[in-house]
Amino acid sequence: MTTRFIGVTEFRQNMTKFAKLARTRKQRLVVLQNDEPLFELHSPSKADFETDILKRVNASERQMKAGRLVTAEQMERMLR
């Protein structure tokens, strides 16, 4: 995977192009603002993506079993 550094303005102007580069060419893009890294964009491998999802599902199931869940009504009250 190659790494390319781009400015935030260039990224905003060509967001679709850079997203395609990250996905199709397996390019890692580091977006800079005032010569400081702001964020990076890369396409995860399918295995990494699936592993991350499984970790999140398992963590959610453990929280549910421990009784740490919030109903939709509780969430609505919290967001008011």
Domain boundaries, the chain: 1-43, 44-80
pLDDT in the model for residue 13: 95
**What's residue 12's pLDDT?**
94
Instruction: Compute the distance between CA of residue 35 and CA of residue 31 in angstroms, rounded to an integer.
Output: 9
Better-predicted residue by pLDDT, 1 or 27: 27
Could you please state the CATH topology (level 3) that the domain comprising 1-43 is classified under: YefM-like fold (3.40.1620)
- Six-digit token string for 44: 């995860």
| 7 pLDDT more than 90 | yes
Instruction: Render pLDDT for 18-70 as a digit per residue (tens, 0 to 9).
Output: 888 888 877 889 999 999 999 998 887 778 888 889 999 999 899 989 988 88
If residue 77 lies in a helix (H) or strand (E), which one and from where to where?
helix 72-79
Predicted TM-score (pTM) of the model is 0.56
Q: In this predicted structure, what is the pLDDT of residue 47?
A: 81
Q: CA geometry: angle at 62 spanning 78 and 57, to 5°?
A: 85
